[in-house]
């Protein structure tokens, strides 16, 4: 085998690893389904975020922040929205870790998301920082 071939093989190998490093696989069918389910739910959660009833918790979930801003009759509905959103979020973290062949990354994926949900929350929304709720 001539050296040019060796070098070519080396470069191809390196670039494929570099690519694997640069991106996480997030296009699996399971992830796609979770994304669209969360996207649809967002239309109903957004007014609750804006009203401060529900906030982005520091653990990568959403949480009821101010129950008093939700009329009593709707509290059950809001609680089940929160529960459904959190189930999807936790499944999403698990699926991303699994789709990348590292189920043990789940907690790392979760804390990365937790940080990004908080950082990217829109102004007026409430986020949890160090245990306290802060309005953005």
Partner 1 sequence: MSPLVHKSIAIVLLLAVSACVTINIYFPAAAAEKAADRIIDEVWQLREGESSSPTPPKKEGASQ
If one asks whether residue 39 binds partner 1 (CB under 8 A), the answer comes out as yes
Specify the stretch interacting with partner 1 by CB under 8 A; choose among 66-74, 76-84, 110-118, 128-136: 110-118
> Given strand 132-135, what is the order of strands in its sheet?
62-64, 54-56, 126-129, 132-135
Q: Render 85-133 in DSSP notation, one character per residue.
A: HHHHHHHHHHHHHHHTT-GGGHHHHHHHHHHHHHHHPPTT-EEEETTEE
**Cβ closer to partner 1: 75 or 98?**
98
Footprint on this chain of partner 1 (rule: CB under 8 A): 1-3, 6-7, 9-10, 13-14, 17, 20-24, 26, 31, 35, 38-39, 42, 92, 96, 102, 105, 108-109, 112-113, 115-117, 120, 122
């Amino acid at each position: 085998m001539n050296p040019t071939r060796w070098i070519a093989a080396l470069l191809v190998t390196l670039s494929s690893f570099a690519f694997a490093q640069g991106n996480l696989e997030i296009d699996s069918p399971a992830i796609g389904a979770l994304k669209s389910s969360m996207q649809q739910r967002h239309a109903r959660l957004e007014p609750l975020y804006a009203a401060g009833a529900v906030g982005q918790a520091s653990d990568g979930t959403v949480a009821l922040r101010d129950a008093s801003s939700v009329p009593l009759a709707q509290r059950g509905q809001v609680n089940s929205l929160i529960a459904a959103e959190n189930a999807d979020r936790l499944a999403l973290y698990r699926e991303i870790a699994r789709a990348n062949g590292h189920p043990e990354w789940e907690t790392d994926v979760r804390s990365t998301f937790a940080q990004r949900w908080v950082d990217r929350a829109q102004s007026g929304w409430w986020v949890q920082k160090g245990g306290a709720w802060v309005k953005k």
